[in-house]
Amino acid sequence: MKGSIIVVLFFAFGCFIGWLGGGVSEVSVEVASGVVSEVPEGATLLSAPGVESPNEIFENVHSGDGISNSGWLPAFLVDGALTTFVLYFLMLQVGLSIGADKKLKEIFLSIKPKYLLIPLGTIIGTLTFSALAALFLSKWNVFDCLAVGSGFAYYSLSSILITELKAASIGEAMAIELATIALMANIMREVIALLCTPLLCKYFGRFAPISVGGATTMDTTLPIITKYCGKDLVFIAIFHGVLIDLTVPMFVSLFCSI
């Protein structure tokens, strides 16, 4: 819970900075990706803040729409080019943390094949019902909804992957919109898992909090699951979290590429 509040704060702070400093409207994003993409990296770096006089900055902030990147923020911040490299760095670290986990072998050895049914149930249940969301949301097709749902509460990774991978098929502006939905939806899912664990355990059985927790059952929701569902589920929860964690980039990229 504390974790998701901090994450929301960082995201909101970024939104505020972007809102203050960027002047990119939906139309100009299309223009920028179509025409200006030929400009070499060095050229965008030269247009960093500090080159312009304070007076021009003031005018740009208030003139806003129409011209691509009319704000004072450098283009590589607004168009998300830097995000790609930071994402690669993040994925390397996620891999390192899984590979270097000293309990990894123990956990996998203590797991019986039968326990695979729990992550399998999580995946099938989530994807089936996420697909149903397309009936209520006319703007998005089934695969868009599946891409959001297959974040399995791993909000940071799923939203970033959608930003990167969906841009090619539905355009950058739509991709960012879907990524924002993915961020909110997966944060909401983590909050649901954290707040509803006692209820879920009572009405849907002992595995329900694990399934709803998705990829977070190895860290953020682990304490509350062991508290309300029993300590004997700790390894099942971690095993489930690790497996779902690994499937997030696969499913999100799969549904983004269809």
Partner 1 sequence: MFIVISIMFLGVGLGFLFKNLSLLNNISKSITVTIYLLLFLLGITVGSNKSIVNNLASLGWQAFVIAFLGSLGSAIAAFLVYKFFFAKDGEVSNEG
Q: In the range 83-112, which residues lie near partner 1 by CB under 8 A? A: 83, 86-102
**Of the residues 159, 217, 220, 221, which one makes contact with partner 1 according to CB under 8 A:** 159
Least Cα distance to 12 among 180, 215, 160 occurs for: 180
Binding track, positions 13-52, relative to partner 1; x by CB under 8 A: xxxxxxxxxxxxxx--x-----------------------
Residue 256 binding partner 1, by CB under 8 A: yes
- C-alpha to C-alpha distance for 257 and 1, rounded to whole angstroms: 32
Q: Which amino acid is at 186?
A: N
Quick one: 29 or 224, whose CB is closer to partner 1? 29
- C-alpha to C-alpha distance for 60 and 54, rounded to whole angstroms: 10
Quick one: 165 or 238, whose CB is closer to partner 1? 165
CB of 1 to partner 1, least distance (A): 15
Query: CA-CA distances (angstroms) from residue 152 to 36, 39, 100?
Result: 36, 38, 23
What is 68-131 written as a DSSP string? TT-SSS-HHHHS-HHHHHHHHHHHHHHHHHHHH-TTHHHHHHS--GGGGHHHHHHHHHHHHHHH
Residue 133 binding partner 1, by CB under 8 A: yes
Residue 124 binding partner 1, by CB under 8 A: yes
Q: At what angle do helices 172-204 and 155-170 cross, to 10 degrees?
A: 140
According to DSSP, residue 49 is labeled T
CB of 60 to partner 1, least distance (A): 12
**Of the residues 32, 60, 158, 177, which one makes contact with partner 1 according to CB under 8 A:** 177
CB of 180 to partner 1, least distance (A): 5
Q: What is the end-to-end Cα distance of the chain in Å, rounded?
A: 33
Residue 78 binding partner 1, by CB under 8 A: yes
Residue 194 binding partner 1, by CB under 8 A: no
Quick one: 1 or 250, whose CB is closer to partner 1? 250
**Of the residues 32, 208, 238, 243, which one makes contact with partner 1 according to CB under 8 A:** 208
Phi, psi of 153 (to 5 degrees): 70, 0
Stretch that binds partner 1, among 9-17, 36-44, 49-57 (CB under 8 A): 9-17
Taken as a whole, the chain contains a residue count of: 258
Residues of span 135-154 touching partner 1 by CB under 8 A: 136-137, 139-140, 145, 148-149, 152
CB of 37 to partner 1, least distance (A): 16
**Of the residues 63, 82, 202, 258, which one makes contact with partner 1 according to CB under 8 A:** 82
**Of the residues 36, 48, 141, 206, which one makes contact with partner 1 according to CB under 8 A:** 206
- C-alpha to C-alpha distance for 53 and 49, rounded to whole angstroms: 9
